[in-house]
């Protein structure tokens, strides 16, 4: 990139910030990326915008005979370092909330796995016909009517067996300290 003096960007006694933005955005982006940071694209864009804002706000105090790139490099490095300090010193509340949510999810998943294991133990120790009814209803999503037709039994018998199986599961889960909402 050709190093231009600040006076090269003055037109009609005014700093042409649009031209500076157009010419120097890739340059500033490269400076930030070469710092090898883990900043998000949003953070990088924010720094770039802040660099140009700083140039604009300080346009009256700039030495027009100095190279624009030297100002831009200095401002970029300062804003970059400030952003990193702020990132280190602040806790991202969203990340914290997500980590809590994930921890809760893990506990819930573990509890559900344990419940499922208990239920499977119970199911494996009941009569085959009851096991078939339970499996068809809960794992194969068959209706009571469909189960009755498949197993060639009455709908009332299916309902009665499901009720007894659920009651047995509920007692076993409660005995182990779990709630059952079946």
Q: CA-to-CA distance for 34 and 30, rounded, in angstroms?
A: 6
> How confident is the model at residue 110, as a pLDDT?
76
pLDDT confidence tier of residue 2, bands split at 50, 70 and 90: low
Instruction: Reply yes or no on domain 108-175 having CATH 1.10.10.10.
Output: yes
pLDDT digits (tens, 9 = 90+) for 21-66: 898 888 888 888 888 667 888 888 998 999 888 888 888 888 888 8
pLDDT digits (tens, 9 = 90+) for 108-157: 777 778 888 888 888 888 899 998 998 888 888 889 999 999 999 999 99
Indicate whether this model's pTM tops 0.85: no
Where exactly are the structural domains of the chain? 6-89, 108-175
* Alpha helical stretches, state H, 35-154: 41-57, 68-89, 93-124, 128-134, 144-151
- CATH architecture of the domain 6-89 equals Orthogonal Bundle (1.10)
Residue 25, judged by CB atoms within 10 A of its CB (0-12, 13-18, 19+), counts as: middle
> Would you say the CATH fold of 108-175 matches that of 6-89?
no
């Amino acid at each position: 990139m050709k190093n231009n003096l600040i006076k090269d960007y003055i037109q009609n006694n005014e700093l042409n910030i649009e031209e500076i933005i157009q010419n120097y955005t890739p340059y500033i982006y490269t400076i930030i990326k070469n710092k090898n940071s883990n900043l998000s694209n949003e953070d990088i864009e924010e720094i770039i915008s802040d660099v140009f804002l700083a140039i604009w706000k300080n346009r009256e105090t700039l030495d027009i005979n100095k190279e624009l790139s030297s100002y831009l490099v200095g401002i970029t490095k300062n804003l970059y370092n400030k952003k990193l300090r702020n990132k280190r010193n602040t806790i991202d509340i969203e990340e914290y909330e997500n980590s809590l949510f994930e921890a809760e999810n893990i506990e819930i998943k573990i509890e559900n796995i344990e419940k499922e294991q208990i239920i499977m133990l119970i199911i494996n120790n009941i009569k085959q016909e009851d096991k078939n009814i339970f499996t068809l209803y809960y794992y194969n999503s068959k209706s009571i009517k469909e189960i009755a037709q498949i197993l060639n039994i009455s709908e009332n018998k299916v309902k009665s067996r499901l009720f007894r199986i659920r009651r047995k599961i509920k007692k076993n889960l409660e005995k182990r300290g779990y709630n059952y909402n079946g």
